[in-house]
Every structure is written in structure tokens, then in C-alpha cells.
Structure 1
Amino acid sequence: MADPFLVPLWLYPALTGTAVVTGFIDAIAGGGGLIMMPALIYAGLPPHVVLGTNKVQSMCGTGMATWRFWRAGLFSIRAALPLAITVFVGATIGALLVQRLDAGVLRLIVPLLLMAVALYTVLSPRMGDEDAHAKLSDRGFLPVAGGVGFYDGFFGPGAGQFYAVTLVGLRGLGLTRATGLTKLLNVTSNIASVIVFAIGGQVLWLLGLCMGAGAMTGAVIGSHFATRHGARVIRPLLVVVSLGLTGRLLWSWFAG
């Protein structure tokens, strides 16, 4: 079990306040880990405890955003259930593997994928609020969703962007609808990861729940902002977050 006294008391309010910002960003475009992961590393926590505790706050924030988007009628839980189950399985496998393997290779590959997300978001005329023709059926999209879920459980940064862009590009959803469904899939993969990390004793529950309260506050503000302003807010923030994550991951890689 991770030791809660590894974290100085002053970091609890500091990280809770940081979680408000990450919850806001996650609710709109994903990528709040760009801020929260370095903050947890700065707190001096072991890498796997960072991953596990971050998943707790992310689960709380995305859970709140999911509820807000569902209330706004942007997705049906019943229709999305097969996707959610597939994502849960993928994330569980990913979270089990990351506790045994080095994620170093992903730190180099993921920035390239995030650059592709940013370019697609900027250049594609389909990144608006209008639904388009789907390239994949619901069933055909299941392996894609499971793959992103696996990635979210294994490593995580950029998973929200990958969910959103594939839902737009492959399922033909408008960006606001895709963002709403992304939150359901994201909270599903977070729940699976939290279960696995908790069983492995890699979660600081008090810290994670304090941060979760902050993330939920940010998620309420962010989801309201997203449903009110739609693609004209989501699209540029998706680009900014993708590029920010790219820079951060590349810097981490080359800085060792």
C-alpha cells in the first residue's frame, strides 16, 4: 500500500487547486494530465503511484463531465454500452501490463500520434458539430475503442484526444457529440485503471479524492462551457492541448 505521508500537507490544497484546472481542460478537450502528471511527479511520488493516484482524480472529473454531457442528451448509455465494455477490458489489460513493463517506447511514439491529432483537427473540414457519414459501423469501431482503452490504461496522455478524433473521423460524429461520448469512454477506462492500481496498492486515496473534488469542480465548469459553445471552443482547445502534450512528452523523452 502506498504511504500517504510521502506527500507534504501543503501539497494537498495545491494539487486540489491544480485539479480544478485539469478538470476544466479534460471536460472540453482532454489532456489534463499534461498539468497533473508533472505536478504529482514533483511531489516525489513513485511512477506507478503517480499513475494510480492521477487516475482517481481523472475518474472523478470525467465522471462529472460524463453526467453533464449525458444530461445534455449528447449520448445514450444503452447504445454506448458495447463500446464501454470493450474499453473497460482494454484498459484493464493495459493497466495490468504497465505495472510490469517499461512505457519508454510509448513516450516516443505518442508525440507523433498527438501531432497527427493536431493536424487532423486543424485541416479536416469534418471537425465541426455536424454528423457525417461513418466509415466504420458500431461493431467495426469496437477494436479501435478497445485499443484506445488499452493505451489509456497503459500510459494515458492524449487518450481523450484519440477517442474524440476517432469518433469524428471513423464514426462520423459531430465534435460536440464525440466529446460527450469521449467522456463516457474515458471514465470507463479510468474506472478500470483505478481498480487495477488499487489492487496493486498504487493509489494514495486521500490525495486522489481531494484532487477528485477539484477535478469535479473544473469538470462542471468545462462541460457547461463545451455544451454552450460547441466546436468553436472544443476544436482550438483540442489543437492546443495536443501540441502541448506533444511538446511535454518530447521534452521528457530527450531530457531523460
Structure 2
Amino acid sequence: MEVTFELLLALFFVAGAAGFIDAMAGGGGLLTLPALLASGMSPTQALATNKLQSSFGSFSASWYFVRSGIVSLKEMRLAIVCTFVGSAIGAEAVQYVDASVLTSLIPLLLIAISLYFLLAPTTKADQGESKLSEAAFALSVGGGVGFYDGFFGPGTGSIFTVCFVAIGHFSLVDATARTKVLNFTSNIAALLFFILAGLPVWEIGLVMAVGGFIGARMGAKVVVSKGQKWVRPLVITMSMVMAIKLLWQQHQDTIVLWFN
């Protein structure tokens, strides 16, 4: 694979757009992963490089939310630890387990997430107490979704968000802020395993990281200023797009035969 200035510039802007979208609704990987594969990388290199660049974007959004006072790292410390451990175990397990079963289930899960946000009433921060204790939430949601992100990945942000809304009774803005913190945690844990395996393409990953960092900061500002007016439709849209994309990839040959 030849790394040219034109390629780096194109991937920089792709990462910027992905970071902007991902900070608000998740699904930025829909843009970056296909772009990396199209550049000539192997699938494992593309996954590793995507984790590298997305870690910077999720850090940018997380840091903005923390500095804005929307989320407290101290209050989330248990969930952060559980997410890190879960993602690390998932990243290790994926090297030994066939992920084909998950591949078939993820589109259905994303469609369910979309329908939840589409049909559920607007959430408010004072809607009620969490259905789980802090420890139970951290272990089940942080550890469970963290494992999924390390093992497979698509839709992790949307899954975290729906858990914070449906189980934790957070507003969508607060849920989005907490999602980015845990998403960054799971990204870093998985990235460490990819680095140990020597998989990331650093030159491309770091250039994309700059674009993703800038885009994510802009997206985080939109979340704070526009709130649910923008975030809710984007969560629905990105979840549906991801589901359709995965279903197309899995059943492309069958769909083509239907129309022929």
C-alpha cells in the first residue's frame, strides 16, 4: 500500500466528518473503516488503525464533556474500570472465537435501538432512579458493552447510550456525555492489544486522529448547545444506517439475486 499526500488528506477529512458524527450519535466507523479498507489495508490493519484514530476522537469529546461539567470521572470510576477490563477481555477473546454469530445479531440490535429512540418519549434527567445500583450498572453495562466493543464493535456508542437512558434514566445529553467516556475507555483497552500485535498503520492513524479530534470537539459542542433536538434524530439515523449496511454486507448476494 502506497501512502500518498492525497490519501492522507482524504482520510483526514473523512476522520473529521466521522468524529463529528460519532461525538453526537455514534457510527463514525461507518465512514472511517470503509475508507481504510479502500486504501489497501488488510482487514486487521484497518480495524487496528481505526481504533487508533477513533481513540483520539472519543478522547476529544470526553474531555470536552468533562471540562463542561456534564460528566464527572470520579462518579464514573467504577464503570470506567469495568469497561476497560471488559474491552481488554473482548479484544483477547476475539483472537480465538468466531464472531460470525454476533455479525448476524448486530443489525437486529441496532434496529431495536433505533425503534426505542423513535418511539420512546423524550427523556428527562429527573425521570426516576436508576433501575440498577451503581456497581450492578458498572459491571453489567460497562463490563458487558466493553467486552462487546473489544470483541466486535459496531454500534457500541448507541448501545451505551440506550443503556444510560433506559436503565440509568439520564437525559439524552447526559447519556451521550457518559457514553463518550466509556467509549474512549473501551477504545484504549482494545487499542493496546492491537499495538502489542503490531497492527496499526501509525502514519495514517495519527493523521486521521488529528481530523477525528477536531471533528469530535465540534460535535461535542453541538451536543451541549443543541441537546436532544439534534442528538435524538442522529442516534436513530446512525443506528438504522449501520443496521442496513451490515444487513447488505451479509445478504448482498441474496438481494442481488432477488432483483435479477
Q: Shorter-chain TM-score category?
A: over 0.9
Counterpart residue number, 1:220: 217
Shift of 1:75: 1.0
Counterpart residue number, 2:66: 70
Q: Is the 8 A contact 2:123 2:170 kept in 1?
A: no
SS at match of 1:79: coil
- Alignment equivalent of 2:32, drawn from 33, 36, 48: 36
TM-score, normalised via structure 2 length: 0.93
Moved more, 72-81 or 8-17: 8-17
Determine the C-alpha separation between the residues in 2 that align with 1:167 and 1:92.
22
- Alignment equivalent of 1:89, drawn from 72, 85, 88: 85
Shift of 1:9: 4.4
Aligned residues: 252
SS at match of 1:10: helix
In percent, how many aligned pairs have the same letter? Answer: 42
Moved more, 5-14 or 93-102: 5-14
For the pair shown, which has the larger CA radius of gyration, 1 or 2? Answer: 2
Q: Is the 8 A contact 1:107 1:250 kept in 2?
A: no
Q: Where has structure 1 moved over 4 Å in runs of 4 or more?
A: 5-9, 128-131
> Residue 128 and residue 237 in structure 1: after superposition, are their counterparts in 2 closer, same or farther (change >3 A)?
farther
Determine the C-alpha separation between the residues in 1 that align with 2:156 and 2:230.
19
Determine the C-alpha separation between the residues in 2 that align with 1:226 and 1:175.
9
Q: Is the 8 A contact 1:129 1:176 kept in 2?
A: no
Shift of 1:219: 0.7
- List runs of 5+ in structure 2 lacking aligned partners: 254-260
Shift of 1:188: 0.3
> Residue 203 and residue 183 in structure 1: after superposition, are their counterparts in 2 closer, same or farther (change >3 A)?
same
- Alignment equivalent of 1:14, drawn from 10, 13, 31: 10
Q: Deviations over 1:187-244 (max 9, x none)?
A: 0000001101000111111111110000011011100011001111110000000000
Counterpart residue number, 1:152: 149
SS at match of 1:250: helix
Report the AA paired with residue 230 of structure 2. Answer: V
- Alignment equivalent of 2:51, drawn from 51, 55, 58: 55
